[in-house]
Structure 1
Amino acid sequence: MPSRLKPLLAAAAAFLLAPAGAAQGPLPRIDGIVWQLHDASPPAEGGWHRLGAREVLIQWTAVDGTAYVPGTGLPESANMPDWARIRREPWARRVIAGLSGRFDEDRTRREIGQMTDESVRLARGQFPFRVSGYYFPAEVDPTWTDAPAVVPQLNRLPRPLWISVYDSSNIGAENLADWLASWLPGDVGIFFQDGVGVWARRAPTARHYADVLAARLGRGRVRLIAEAFRQQADGSFRPATPEELGPQLRAYRGHRIYLFDGPHYVSDETIDALLAQ
């Protein structure tokens, strides 16, 4: 989230030709933000609670052998978060603790067993915040034909447990929902990546995905990640403008919305502009 750098020209063309749909009315309240930790990540300082955020999903607490929480036995990051401050923030009243991950998606899929071993050890430790759930940072999509083989690994992890799902190949909401229902354990929830930031689809289409997934899997198991960035032709990312992000969020009214990623892409200036719309 995002770990997939895809060619943009065809995707952007399809995006621009798709119907825009309606995204009117007041801004819906979001439920939370996502925070992707790395050694150069910005500190989690912002007014996301002003948009409604009360929960933060930390993408991982250890990645590629580097820990971002103390007491794991792994080498600790030189850019350790200020957990004492973060746990007092109004947008971090609840924390979904991401477990052990890898930056590279191919490596993630090769090392899923090792990641699970590391995640079990992490989950047995003492996190420096109150945990509301756990997130296993293995992003799944229908091109991962071995994804159902992950089930024994998921069954080793604590609950409540979440994973993330995307559909870069655009098989469609119904097919994606059927695929997930065919193998995903019934007590594992999903964060669906809307794909808007990587030009995979427009927000109304992403809303349709969320509706279908909620109907098929159960509304309590589905949360929606609003990509608050836009991928550029050179593969880099920029923050979404308020004019882009406002309609995107309005399209998702009624779903549980999480911004990816708050510290990197959603500044206080953006929040001010959104609230002024």
Structure 2
Amino acid sequence: MPTDSRAQGIVWQLDNATANPVGDWHLLGVRELLVQWVVVDDTAFVPNAGVHEAANLPDWARIGREPWARNVILGLAGNADEKRARENVETLVRESARIARVPLPLHVTGYYFPVEVDPTWADAPKLGALLQALPRPLWISVYDRSNVGGRSLAQWLNTWLPRDVGVFFQDGCGVYARGPEVARTYLDELTEALGRDRVRVIAEAFRPSEHGGFRAASADELRAQLAAYRGYRAYLFDGPHYVSNELTRTLAPRAAARLGAASSR
């Protein structure tokens, strides 16, 4: 029986279709949930946020009891369209500061500001000062579609990113920007510049589909990613959309067997 693959977290790109997430992600060792956002496009998935509420709010109390959500990094206010999000970044920071104060039945261990950055965004350095308004611990995500390399990416971040803000690096495997081994070099170079405590990795659990859109990554594809990132905290993007129970059990056959044996007693 193959050795179980391990991940530390899952990402949840919250939308109406996944407002009630369920899964066996804890079999992979997942104990932390990164919620991409709780307000998106002026629609709130939490109560009392001061904006229009989604028709179906998640059962946050139930989610907070799940083994894969013992700790939660709470994403704040964002836009699904990247161009719009970047144009509205000041407004999103103000909304995020307000939303962070909404009480939820979760063990919140940090916050995530869901406006993604990359070196092609000329105004990204302005974000540094804006982030001072948000609570800590605070995280953002970064990608490198133009392949400047990990060292150059780290140098760019160091020119403007506050020293107390961490980075989720999007590995790029989901769009074939690079393979896991190259993504690992990015992590090492980011860590050398920023420090290990500030660097985590988003393992993209999807691939382009030959019919358009995206499909779930195969077990072999994800297994290679998680093996390459061993030693770093890896978060699967995203659990509810792409990491099914079948895929989870294929990646963690020993944990699945133990669960099956326990449930049959």
TM-score (norm: length of structure 2): 0.92
Residue 214 (structure 1) aligns with: 191
Count how many residue pairs are aligned between Structure 1 and Structure 2. 253
- The whole-number CA distance in structure 1 between the counterparts of 2:240 and 2:18 is 8
Q: Does 1:60 align with 2:31?
A: no
Residue aligning to 1:9: none
Alignment of 1:259 with 2:236, yes or no, is yes
Asked if 1:185 is matched to 2:162, the reply is yes
Q: State the secondary structure of the residue aligned to 1:145.
A: coil
SS in 2 for 1:246: helix
Does residue 123 of structure 1 match 2:90?
A: no
Runs of at least 5 residues in structure 1 that lack an aligned partner in the other structure: 1-24
Give the partner amino acid of 1:101.
G
How many angstroms does 1:29 deviate by? 2.3
Question: Within 2, Cα distance between the matches of 1:137 and 1:77?
Answer: 18
Cα deviation, residue 130, structure 1? 2.1
Deviates more, 1:227-236 or 1:173-182: 227-236
Are 1:42 and 1:264, in contact at CA under 8 Å, matched by a contact in 2?
no
**What are the superposed Cα offsets for residues 247-272 of structure 1, whole Å, 9 maximum, x if unpaired?**
11111111110000011101110011
Superposed displacement of residue 232, structure 1: 2.7
- Any idea what the Cα deviations from partners look like across 1:177-203, whole Å, max 9, x if unmatched? 111111110000000000000110001
Distance 2:151 2:38 in 1: 33
Task: Indicate which of 107, 126, 130 corresponds to 1:149.
Answer: 126
Tell me the distance in 2 between the aligned counterparts of 1:166 and 1:79.
31
Q: Which has the higher helix share?
A: 2
Question: Matched residues in 1 for 2:78 and 2:227: separation?
Answer: 32
Matched-pair contact (CA < 8 Å) for 1:28–1:253: no
Once the two structures are TM-superposed, the CA of residue 128 in structure 1 deviates from its matched residue by 3.1
Q: CA deviation at 1:275?
A: 1.8
Q: Within 2, Cα distance between the matches of 1:67 and 1:128?
A: 16
In structure 1, what is the equivalent of residue 71 of structure 2? 94
Q: For residues 191-235 of structure 1, what are the alpha-carbon distances to aligned partners after superposition, in whole Å with 9 as ceiling and x for unaligned?
A: 000000011000100011011111110000000000000023564
Partner residue of 2:11? 34
Do the aligned residues in 2 keep the contact of 1:32 with 1:54 (CA within 8 Å)?
Answer: yes
Contact 2:60–2:104 (CA under 8 A) maintained in structure 1: no
What code does the residue aligned with 1:194 have?
Answer: D
Q: Which runs of 5+ in 2 are unaligned?
A: 255-265
Secondary structure of the structure 1 residue equivalent to 2:11? strand
Structure 2 distance, partners of 1:43, 1:79, is 9
Task: Give the Cα separation in 1 of the matches to 2:101 and 2:6.
Answer: 33
Which secondary structure state, in structure 2, belongs to the residue aligned with residue 124 of structure 1? coil
State the one-letter code of the partner of 2:49.
T
Task: Give the C-alpha shift of residue 152 in structure 1.
Answer: 1.7
TM-score, normalised by the number of residues in structure 1: 0.88
